[in-house]
Amino acid sequence: MEKELDQVSSCIRLFADQVQIQVCKEILDENDDAFTRLSQVYALAGNDARLKILYLIQQQNELCPCDLSDILQMTVPAVSQHLRKLKDASLVRTRKSGQTIFYSIIPDQADVINQLFIHIPNPESIAV
């Protein structure tokens, strides 16, 4: 008697707040692109190795696969494949120097990436 939904809802509670539900749908819809991009970034950051790679690159300005392999104690191809994903997502870029390839954060994305680490205590001890 209360229901005029054209779509068969799985939820039949009488007191379901249809207005609230509609508002929510609209908010999601308006920000759909943002959610897509954000979840893509978080999916990349959601891997321990990749999160550390991003952190290290951001913190050291640039690093090569070789160094990352040393630091993270993982094989070079494994690192390389992570770097490729980060590059495909336009989070990092490369600079070639001889046979070494340096990866760095794409400046546009620095904000988003720095956000990822605001709960990691900043090392003062870097001043070698």
Question: Which residues would be at the binding site for DNA (CB under 7 A)?
Answer: 10-13, 16, 43, 46-47, 49-50, 64-67, 74-85, 94, 96, 98-102
Whole-number Å distance between alpha carbons of 47 and 70: 18
The answer to whether 63 touches 103, Cβ cutoff 8 Å, is: yes
Judged by CB under 8 A, the chain residues 94 through 123 that form the site for its own copies are: 100, 112, 115-121, 123
Whole-number Å distance between alpha carbons of 109 and 53: 15
Q: Which of 1, 3, 66, 88 binds its own copies (CB under 8 A)?
A: 66
89/112 with CB nearer DNA: 89
Burial 88-111 (b: 16+ CB within 10 A, else e): eeebbeeeeeeeebbbbbeeebee
- Among residues 55, 28, 49, the alpha carbon closest in space to that of 39 is found at 28
Positions that interact with its own copies (CB under 8 A) = 9-11, 13, 16-17, 19-21, 23-25, 27-28, 30-31, 34-36, 38-48, 50-52, 55-56, 59-60, 64, 66-67, 69-72, 75-76, 100, 112, 115-121, 123, 125-126, 128
